[in-house]
Structure 1
Amino acid sequence: MLIAFNKPYGVLCQFTDRSTPPRPTLAGFGLPPGVYAAGRLDHDSEGLLLLTDDGGLAHRLTDPRHKQPKTYQVQVEGEPRPEQLAALRRGVELRDGPTRPAKVEAIAAPALWPRDPPVRFRRTVPDAWLQLVIGEGRNRQVRRMTAAVGLPTLRLVRVAIGAVALDGLEPGQWREVDPRHATRESLA
C-alpha cells in the first residue's frame, strides 16, 4: 500500500510524540493502520509525504542511490540573482559535504493553501518563489542550500516525489496511490 498525504505545517512525520505538551502527529489524520512515513518532512515544512507498509518500496523511494527526484516550491527571502541560481544548479557546499546539482528555476507565486500561521510579511524585504528538484534527502537540505546562496527559506512545500504529486490534495488529506507508478528514473 502507498499513501500520498499532504502534511500540514506543524505536524510531525511520526504517529506519536512524547514531548510536553504533545505536538500534532500523523495519528490525527485517519491514515490506514500499518503504514509509516517513507522519508520525512520537518514539522515546519509542508506538502507531499508518502507512507507505506512495504519496506522495499520505502527503500526505493528514499535511498539516495535511487535518486528519486523530489520537487519543492520554495518561498525565499530576497530576489534570486542568476549567480545564486547557478550555484544551486552546480551544487553547494554544506557542512556535511557538497550537494548534488539541483534543477532550479524562479517561478510565479504558486496557488497554494494559506499557511497557518502565515509567513511573516516584511514590506522592506522582497521575497520570491523557486521550484527546486533534488535527488537527495539530507536533513533540512533545501533550507540549507538556499541559505548557503543567500536566499533564506520562508516557506517550503514539497509537491512531488518521483512520479507521485500532490495533485489537488488539501492539507491533511490523503489518497491511495498505485505503487507500480510511484518511482521514476533519476534526475540524470
Structure 2
Amino acid sequence: MPLILFNKPFQVMCQFSPHPSRDTLAQYLRIPNIYPAGRLDADSEGLLLLTDDGRLQHDISHPAHKQPKTYLAQVEGVPDVQALTRLRNPLDLGDFTTQACQVRQIEAPDWLWPRNPPIRERSNTPTSWLAITLSEGKNRQVRRMTAAVGLPTLRLVRIAIGPFSLETYPLLPGEWQEVSPTAVSLT
C-alpha cells in the first residue's frame, strides 16, 4: 500500500487517462493502480498524494478528516489588513461560504522553483505572496478567495497536506517519493 508524494508540475492534469493537449500523471508516475487523494487544477502546482488504498485515499481527501492544506499564492497587488482579515474569516463566494482559515503575508520563498512558463508580470503592478492554510478544498477555492478581496492569484503552489510538506520532502516538479502511510493522522 504505497503512499506517494508527487510534486505536480504546472499544466499537468490530475488524471492518468490521456488528455488531448496536456500531460497527465501517467507521464510522471508509472506505478500501477494508484490514484490521487484530492486534486489540483492544471494551473496549480505542488504537492499531490497518491495511493492504491481506496480507504486511505478517501480519508486523506475527505473534509471530515480536516487534513490541513497549505498553499503559497503569488497575488497581484499588496494585501492590506482588511483583505487579510476577510481572507481569514468565513468568506461568501456566492455558491458557498468558506470556513475560517490561516492567512499570512510572506516574503517570496527562496526555495521555490521557478515556474515554466513564468507568470505574467506587469511593471506597474506589484505582486505579493500569501501562505494560506485551510482544511477544506473546494474547486478553485484559493483563487476565488483571493479574487474576492481584489488580489487575483498569479501562481498557486500547494506545499503541504497534513504532515507532508515540500519543505520537508524537497521534490522538484515531476519528482515523487514513497513514504509510509502511517504518518497520516486522521483524527
TM-score (norm 2): 0.94
Deviations 1:135-177 (A, max 9, x none): 1110000000111111100000000000011221000000001
* Alpha-carbon spacing, 1:156–1:60, altered in 2? closer, same or farther (3 Å): same
2:120 paired with 1:116: no
Mapped partners of 2:165, 2:19: distance in 1: 31
Among all aligned residue pairs of Structure 1 and Structure 2, give the percentage whose two residues are the same amino acid.
56
Deviation, 1:38, is: 0.6
Aligned-partner SS, 1:94: coil
Mapped partners of 2:109, 2:19: distance in 1: 35
Question: What amino acid does structure 1 have at the position aligned with 2:116?
Answer: D
Deviations 1:10-34 (A, max 9, x none): 1000012343xx3100111133111
Mapped partners of 2:24, 2:95: distance in 1: 29
2:177 paired with 1:178: no
Mapped partners of 1:84, 1:31: distance in 2: 43
Question: What amino acid does structure 1 have at the position aligned with 2:174?
Answer: G
Give the aligned CA root-mean-square deviation in angstroms.
1.1
Q: How does 1:1-188 map to 2 (within 5 A)?
A: 1-19=2-20, 22-111=21-110, 112-166=112-166, 167-183=169-185
Stretches of structure 1 that go unaligned for 5 or more consecutive residues are none
Deviations 1:63-118 (A, max 9, x none): 11111100001100000000110011112101221100110000000121111110
Mapped partners of 2:68, 2:95: distance in 1: 20
Aligned-partner SS, 1:114: coil
* Alpha-carbon spacing, 1:156–1:180, altered in 2? closer, same or farther (3 Å): same
Question: Residues 12 and 43 of structure 1 are in contact (CA less than 8 Å); yes or no, is this contact kept in structure 2?
Answer: yes
Stretches of structure 2 that go unaligned for 5 or more consecutive residues are none
Mapped partners of 1:5, 1:33: distance in 2: 15
User: How many matched pairs?
Assistant: 183
